[in-house]
């Protein structure tokens, strides 16, 4: 094994943008003033504090415009995990306190941030229905409709899956909830984890019809440690964090001004040139997919390649343990993932692939390639040159039969 070297985006073919993305120049520029001279606390009444508060207000307006929302509906958090937790727990607690019910609908293919919140809510006495999916990773609208009942208070369905990229029919789910509202005594709130969507899909909260939407800045070129929670006005909500009453009394804690400024700038930049970005990256992804299937025997695509984000490619390699192949590719300067970046410390088959019905022997050999704006045709060509040999080496090292 070659010794580890200091890696930079220039020295690595980076194909793990679903895990994190390089900081956009626009985000860096927006952050710099608040990392140095403009260090004030937004709660301060003096000029440094007012400068910081003005920056937060400007960022809030920018994010609202990107999402088709009102500025008062945008909250800043520490990232996607907090945004998902706050949305699900805050709405569920508020609805149960109002006597509306304690039933929640979610799916088996959510990010662990959503799955574990649902499990926690069950421990607190909520009833949770977990919907399955088809072989492409897409839920059934009819199954969703059948899961609704008088005590349902919240549905949480992710927009784009982080492992296979499948896009869920959120607008159709919202339509079902509008129909159901005519039969129920209360509204069923809809939350979507949209963490994987910016830079690849248009996001408009009105078109989606959601009441809450979660984002994570570092997935679209912003800084880590900064997130967004859209919360439609009048949505019942109990804050998780209590203290100074920041974020319109919904999320206490001194604001991360630099992170907020960077997140807003990155989100705005990610909306520009969306159509061209989709076409370019989809063509590269398809070139990578077709090349792998042609050159590597025993390879198979997981998930849909049409109704999905254009940068995601999940492929299983027979007879391979995915962590072995990830390591071998890393030694060749190629960064990929063995599934969700948040679960790489444990050797378990992807819960998403298992829910899709992928056989376990194939699931444990799955690799996620997620491309970015800086990915080039040369990168794809180099990966296709290297990959067949490294798959053969991984098969020789792995304990699984081909």
Lowest mean pLDDT among 1-5, 45-49, 355-359: 1-5
- Given a cut of 50, whether residue 108 has pLDDT beyond it is yes
> What pLDDT, on a 0 to 100 scale, did the predictor assign at position 345?
52
- Given a cut of 70, whether residue 139 has pLDDT beyond it is yes
Residues 329-349, mean pLDDT to the nearest whole number: 76
- Given a cut of 80, whether residue 215 has pLDDT beyond it is yes
Q: Domain ranges in the chain? A: 25-271, 273-397
pLDDT class for 11, splitting at 50, 70, 90? confident
Residues 131-136, mean pLDDT to the nearest whole number: 96
Residues 203-229, mean pLDDT to the nearest whole number: 98
CATH 3.90.1640.30 correct for 273-397: no
Write out pLDDT tens, residues 151-164.
999 999 999 999 99
pLDDT class for 242, splitting at 50, 70, 90? very high
Q: What is the pTM of this model?
A: 0.94
- Given a cut of 90, whether residue 8 has pLDDT beyond it is no
Q: Catalytic residue at 342?
A: yes
Catalytic residue among 66, 304, 308, 342: 342
Question: Considering the chain, what is the average pLDDT of its residues?
Answer: 94
pLDDT class for 348, splitting at 50, 70, 90? confident
> Which residue reads 């508020």 in tokens?
94
Write out pLDDT tens, residues 269-285.
999 999 999 999 999 99
Residues 192-199, mean pLDDT to the nearest whole number: 98
- Given a cut of 80, whether residue 308 has pLDDT beyond it is yes
- Given a cut of 80, whether residue 342 has pLDDT beyond it is no
- Given a cut of 70, whether residue 399 has pLDDT beyond it is no
Residue of 79, 148, 158 whose CA lies nearest to 118 = 158
pLDDT class for 336, splitting at 50, 70, 90? very high
Q: Please give the share of the chain, as a percent, with pLDDT higher than 70.
A: 94
> What pLDDT, on a 0 to 100 scale, did the predictor assign at position 3?
43
- Given a cut of 50, whether residue 266 has pLDDT beyond it is yes
> What pLDDT, on a 0 to 100 scale, did the predictor assign at position 401?
62
> Which residue reads 């727990």 in tokens?
89
CATH 3.40.640.10 correct for 25-271: yes
Residue 292 near residue 387 (C-beta atoms within 8 A): yes
> What pLDDT, on a 0 to 100 scale, did the predictor assign at position 402?
58
Residues 32-47, mean pLDDT to the nearest whole number: 91
Tokens of residue 82, six digits: 């907090």
pLDDT class for 2, splitting at 50, 70, 90? very low
> What pLDDT, on a 0 to 100 scale, did the predictor assign at position 340?
45
Residue of 189, 131, 192, 150 whose CA lies nearest to 167 = 192
> What pLDDT, on a 0 to 100 scale, did the predictor assign at position 43?
87
């Amino acid at each position: 094994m070659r010794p580890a070297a200091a890696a930079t985006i220039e020295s690595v073919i980076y194909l793990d943008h679903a895990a994190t993305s390089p900081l956009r120049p626009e985000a860096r520029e927006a952050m710099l003033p608040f990392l140095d001279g403009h260090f004030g606390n937004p709660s301060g009444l003096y000029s440094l504090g007012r400068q910081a508060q003005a920056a937060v207000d400007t960022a809030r307006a920018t994010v609202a415009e990107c999402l088709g929302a009102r500025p008062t509906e945008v909250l800043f958090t520490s990232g996607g995990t907090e945004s998902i937790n706050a949305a699900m727990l805050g709405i569920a607690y508020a609805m149960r306190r109002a006597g509306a019910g304690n039933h929640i609908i979610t799916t088996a293919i959510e990010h662990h941030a959503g799955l574990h919140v649902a499990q926690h809510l069950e421990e607190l006495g909520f009833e949770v229905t977990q919907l399955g999916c088809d072989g492409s990773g897409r839920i059934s609208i009819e199954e969703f409709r059948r899961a609704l009942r008088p005590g349902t208070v919240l549905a949480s369905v992710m927009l784009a899956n982080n492992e296979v990229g499948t896009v869920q029919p959120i607008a159709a789910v919202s339509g079902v909830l509008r129909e159901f509202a005519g039969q129920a005594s209360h509204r069923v709130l809809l939350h979507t984890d949209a963490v994987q969507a910016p830079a690849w899909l248009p996001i408009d909260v009105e078109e989606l019809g959601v009441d809450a939407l979660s984002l994570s800045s570092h997935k679209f070129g912003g800084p880590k440690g900064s997130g967004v929670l859209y919360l439609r006005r009048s949505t019942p909500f109990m804050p998780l964090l209590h203290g100074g009453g920041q974020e319109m009394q919904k999320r206490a804690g001194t604001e991360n001004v630099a992170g907020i400024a960077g997140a807003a700038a990155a989100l705005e930049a990610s909306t520009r040139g969306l159509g061209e970005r989709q076409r370019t990256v989809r063509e590269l992804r398809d070139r990578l997919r077709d090349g792998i299937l042609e050159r590597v025997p025993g390879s198979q695509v997981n998930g849909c390649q049409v109704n999905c984000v254009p940068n995601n490619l999940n492929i299983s390699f027979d007879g391979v343990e995915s962590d072995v192949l990830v390591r071998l590719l890393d030694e060749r300067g190629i960064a990929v993932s063995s599934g969700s970046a948040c679960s790489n410390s444990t050797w378990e088959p992807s819960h998403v692939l298992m829910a899709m019905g992928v056989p376990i022997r194939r699931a444990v050999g799955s690799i996620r390639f997620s491309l970015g704006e800086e990915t080039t045709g040369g990168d794809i060509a180099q990966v296709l040159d290297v990959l067949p040999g490294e798959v053969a080496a991984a098969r020789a090292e792995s304990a699984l039969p081909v």
